[in-house]
Amino acid sequence: MNQRLGHIIEHRAHGAGPSGRAATYLVHDDETGEDFGFAYTAIVTEGFRHLRKGERVRFLTDPGRPGHAFYIVQLDLPEVEAYY
């Protein structure tokens, strides 16, 4: 897998309904200009999964699955004190 840096360019909050298909995102690779899609479950966190448009992330891609991003890591998480 290749590690890349990019930012979120689109967030589609689907009406999930019983299917559980909650949200999909598009991430833009800042270096190559390529775009990749991923489901909310690809966000690496133990907590709440949500990304804002414009948010910077680190992610992996797999040549075997073109167009898909995995292991999305948020790079702009707020400092602890910002939550209080």
Q: Where are the beta strands (DSSP E) in the chain?
A: 2-13, 23-29, 35-39, 56-61, 69-74
Interface residue with another protein among 24, 34, 37, 44 (CB under 8 A) is 44
Is residue 33 near another protein by the rule CB under 8 A?
no
Interface residue with another protein among 12, 30, 45, 67 (CB under 8 A) is 45
Pick the stretch among 13-21, 25-33, 61-69 that binds another protein (CB under 8 A). Answer: 13-21
Which is nearer to another protein, 19 or 63 (by Cβ)?
19
**2-20 CB burial, b ≥16 within 10 A, e <16:** eebebbbeeeeeeeeeeee
